[in-house]
Amino acid sequence: MGVVVTGYGSISVAGTGVERVYARYRSGRTAVGPTQIGEESVLAARLDAEAEAVLESYVAVLERREKLFDRAALMAAYACEIAAANWKPGRNYAIVVGSARGAAGRGEQYFSDFSSAKRVSPFASPTTTAGGLASLPAARLAERLKPPTTAFVVSQTCVSAATAVATATALIRAGVVERALAGGAEAPLTPFTLSAMRSTGAYAHRSRANREFPCRPLASQGEDTMVMGEGAVVFSLENEDKRNGPVWAKIIGVGWGTEKPPHLAATGADGAALQTAMRAAIAEAGLWPDAVVMHAPGTLAGDAAELAAIAAVWEHRPRPYLYAPKWLTGHALGAAPALALEVALLMLRFGPLNMPYPVHDNSVRDFRTVMVNAAGFGGGAAALILQRPD
């Protein structure tokens, strides 16, 4: 059974709306810059004023209790409603959202309240669970469509959104539902999450603020350049034979992989998990993708491992075109694969995107198929292959 992408909704540091997001990637202007997180000014990528205004307008019309949810849940609900805007009522569906940090902001807020007062609001428990990133969208869509068959959150570090899309694809292929909203949401620009990410030693130093590209995947010039970003991207997936909307792309290959990492915050130098995931996706698709939208976080070890994995998989074939979007978006952690899938869709529809700085051996070409890679702490990886419709 074929599964196709019939639309999507997004709100991220790249903007909102298909044309605006594609134009931002083509502009060569990064969203990464000095950002206030708690009491510190660090390098990160936050929603710009226009995207923030869109989110604020959306939140303004929510019910009072819905406004209490974490920023990640609010972005997920917005993206789900946009993705399902053309859906008609009656058909069953699932909501599957991937996130690494879940309700990070609300969790830190309520823990601070507890630390000082030894008590918290009665809303603390329902608004700090990761499940809120799916239950809020489900509640918002229930009246117009009907309650979903199931709505849940998956968490697999920075692979989460890819796992969400792969899981939703499996649900449709198995006939459990006819359509699904699947993607990722992350709002990690919080003091604790920042401290946790910086403790890995791979976070970009504040001194890179004067660089044109503070986050520079595939060309980091001898230093780690990873920074965090935020956003939510959710895709409308449908049974190919029962779809209502026009097709953006078909999901023709899904692969997962795992490995025993050298330590908790690293992947192996040869990218073994990514190799397994890519080979599995290619085997299912029955073809070699023309391009790869890479995970490439801008760390020396992470970028090198993924390049090694690609070189091993394509050992006897011409290397595909490579694109690494985190130069613009930073690393949205569990939502990052959803932002990468958005890039893949945009390139399939509107044409290839250039990296904004020289990347060796990377000639732009036209293509019909794109693979999206995802990897994360703990040794997990996933790969998805999309094909442009004829």
> What's the mean pLDDT in 91-107?
97
Per-residue pLDDT averaged across 200-214, rounded? Answer: 92
CB atoms within 10 A of CB 279: 16
Helix, strand, coil percent values for the chain (each to nearest 5): 40, 20, 40
Q: What is the mean pLDDT of residues 14-36?
A: 97
pLDDT at 265: 66
CA distances from 22 to 30, 81, 116, 279, 357 (A): 13, 20, 46, 29, 17
Place of tokens 């491992």: 305
**Cβ proximity of 293 and 372 under 8 Å:** yes
Provide mean pLDDT across the span 162-191. Answer: 98
How far is the C-alpha of 73 from the C-alpha of 134, rounded, in Å?
A: 7
CA dist., res. 94 & res. 283, Å (int): 27
Give me the sign of the Cα torsion angle 341, 307, 216, 334: positive
Helices (H), 129-256: 132-142, 160-173, 191-198
Residue 361 has pLDDT above 80, yes or no: no
- Structural domains of the chain, with CATH: 3-249 (3.40.47.10), 251-387 (3.40.47.10)
Give 176's contacts (C-beta < 8 A, 6+ positions apart).
Answer: 94, 149
Evaluate if residue 267 carries a pLDDT over 90. Answer: no
Neighbours of 50 (CB within 10 A): 11
Q: How far apart are CA 111 and CA 354, in angstroms?
A: 44
* Whether the Cβ atoms of residue 183 and residue 232 lie closer than 8 Å to each other: yes
Q: Which two tokens stand for residue 329?
A: 């978006």
Coil/strand/helix, residue 133: helix
Pairing mode of beta strands 40-44, 369-376 = unpaired
Q: What is the Cα–Cα distance from 7 to 161, expressed in whole angstroms?
A: 16
The model's confidence at residue 304, banded by pLDDT at 50, 70 and 90, is very high
**Cross-strand bridge partners of residue 231:** 12, 186
Question: 232-263 pLDDT, tens per residue?
Answer: 999 999 999 999 889 999 999 999 999 988 77
Give the count of beta carbons closer than 10 Å to the beta carbon of residue 108.
17
Q: Is the dihedral of CA 209, 229, 269, 308 positive or negative?
A: negative
**Calpha distance 124→109 (Å, rounded):** 9
Going by pLDDT thresholds of 50, 70 and 90, the confidence category of residue 364 is low
Q: Are 344 and 22 in contact (CB under 8 A)?
A: no
What CA–CA distance (Å, rounded) separates 167 from 310?
24
H or E segment and range at residue 37:
strand 33-37
Lowest model confidence (mean pLDDT) among 130-144, 146-160, 216-230, 260-274: 260-274
User: Which has the closest alpha carbon to 8: 78, 68, 69, 84?
Assistant: 84
Using CA atoms, how far residue 328 sits from 27, 144, 242, in Å, is 10, 35, 36
286 CB neighbour count, 10 Å cutoff: 9
What pLDDT, on a 0 to 100 scale, did the predictor assign at position 366? 78
Reported as half-sphere exposure (CB side, CA atoms, 13 A), residue 229 has a value of: 37
Q: What is the pLDDT of residues 158-175, one digit of tens each?
A: 999 999 999 999 999 999
In DSSP notation, 217-229 reads: TT--TTS--B-B-
What is the rounded CA–CA span in Å between residue 208 and residue 19? 30
